[in-house]
Structure 1
Amino acid sequence: MSSTPVTVRRIALVAPVLLLLYGILRFADGLDGDRGNGPLWTIGHLAFFVGMVLFGWLMLALRGMVPQPGRLAAIATVTGLAGVLCFLWVIAGDLSDGFREAAPLPAALEFVGPMLFPVGMLTLFGLLVAARRLPVWTPLLFGAAITAITVNLNLLPFAALAVLAALSPLRRLTQPRPGLTAARN
C-alpha cells in the first residue's frame, strides 16, 4: 500500500486525537457514576472505532516506509492488523448488544487479541528505528502509553497525548526535504 506523505501526516495526527476524544468522552460519561449507553458513550466509541481504522491504515503505511521490508515487517503488519480487527470487534460489541450477542469475540481473544495491535506497531517502529528513520523515543513513548492504558483505562487521555507525541516524528519523516526538490529541477 502506498500512502502519500500528506495522508500519513494527517493519520498520525487524527488517529491519536480521536483516541484522546474517546478518553475525554469516556471520562465525562462516567462523571455521573454510570458509564455507558448514552450519547457520550456512543460518540466516544465511534471516535475510538474510526481512530482504530486509521491506526490500521497507518500501520500499512509504516510497513511501506521500512527500507527493504522483509518477513518481519510483514508479520508485524499482519499481527498489528489482527489486533486492530479485535479492537474493532470489541468496540462494535460495545456499541451494539445485538452484535455482541450474535458474534461474541472468542474468550481467548478478548485480552490477547487487542494486544496484537501494539506488538505489531512497536515492531514496525523498531524496524524504522533500526533504519534510522525514527528516533528511539518513538517506540518507547508509544509503549509507555499502551502500558498506561493497560494498567488503568482512566489514563486514556494522557496515553493518547503520549501517542500523539510518539507519532510526531512521522510528520517530519514523510515531509520532502527542501533541497531535494530544487536539486531535481
Structure 2
Amino acid sequence: MRSMAFAAPLLLLAYGVLRWIDGLDGHRRGGPAWDVGHLAFLASMATFALLAVALWRRARLARRTALVAAAAAILGSACMIWVIVGDLSASFQDGYPLPGPLRTAGPIAFVLGTIGLLSLQVASGRLPVWSPMLFFAGYTAISIDLDLLPLAGLILLGALYPLAASAAPARAARLRQRREQAASASRRHERPARPSRTA
C-alpha cells in the first residue's frame, strides 16, 4: 500500500508536468510529451484503483460502506482510463466513446469513493482528519483548471503521505514477526532429540 500511496499522486504530478511541457509550443496533443504524460495518467488511475482495493481490504469499520466506496472509486478510475485511452487512440475514441452520463459521473464517483475510503481510515484512527479534506482540495484544483495538475499532484501526495507512512511500521512489524517465527521453527528443528530411557 505504501508504494501505491506514493506512486498514484506522483504519476499524476508527472502527467501535469508533461502536459505543461507539451503546451509550451502553443499546441497540445500528438507530441511525445502528450503520449508519455497520458500513459503516466493512465498508470496513476490504475494505481488509484488498486489503492481503493487495498483500502477496502484494510477497512475495519463499516465493511459494506467500504465496499460501496471502493466500487465507486474503481468505477470512476475505469471511466477516466477509458477517456485516456480515447485521447491516445482516435480510432478507439470514435469506435467506443464513453457515454455522456459516465463521463460526468465517473470523476465524481472516483473522488467520493476515495474520500469515503479515507474517511473510514480516519474513523479507525489510522489517518488524520485532514487527509480526506486535502484529497478533496487536490481534486478541486484539477476541476478548476487542468493547468493546476502539478499542484494537485503535490496536494494529493500530501493527503496520502500519512497512509504511506503508516504502512511502514506495519510492514516492519510483519517482517519482524516472520523472522521470529522462522527462527523459532529453526530452533525446534535443530533441538537434539532426548535419549530414550531403557528399563
Q: Same fold (TM over 0.5)?
A: yes
Q: Percent identity?
A: 45
Deviation string for 1:78-134 (max 9, x for gaps)?
011000000100000000000001100001111221221111000001111111110
- Aligned residues between the structures: 177
Worse-superposed segment, 66-75 or 149-158: 66-75
Say if 2:84 is the partner of 1:91.
Answer: yes
**Contact 1:59/1:77 (8 A) holds in 2:** yes
Find out whether 1:16 has 2:1 as its counterpart. no
Q: Which residue, out of 52, 61, 83, partners 2:54?
A: 61
Amino acid at match of 2:116: T
Matched, 1:163 2:156: yes
Paired residue for 1:49? 42
Candidates 101, 124, 135, aligned match of 2:128: 135
Q: How does 1:116-127 map to 2 (within 5 A)?
A: 116-127=109-120
In 1, Cα distance between the equivalents of 2:173 and 2:87? 50
Say whether residues 1:105 and 2:119 are aligned partners: no
- C-alpha distance in 2, partners of 1:115/1:23? 20
TM-score (norm 2): 0.84
TM-score by length of 1: 0.90
What is the Cα-based RMSD across aligned positions, in Å? 1.7
3-state secondary structure, aligned to 2:100: coil
Structure 2 SS opposite 1:176: helix
- 5+ long unaligned stretches in structure 1: 1-7
Structure of higher CA gyration radius: 2
Residue type matched to 1:41 in 2? W
Which runs of no fewer than 5 residues in structure 2 stay unpaired? 181-199
Question: Are the aligned partners of 2:61 and 2:120 in contact in 1 as well (CA < 8 Å)?
Answer: no
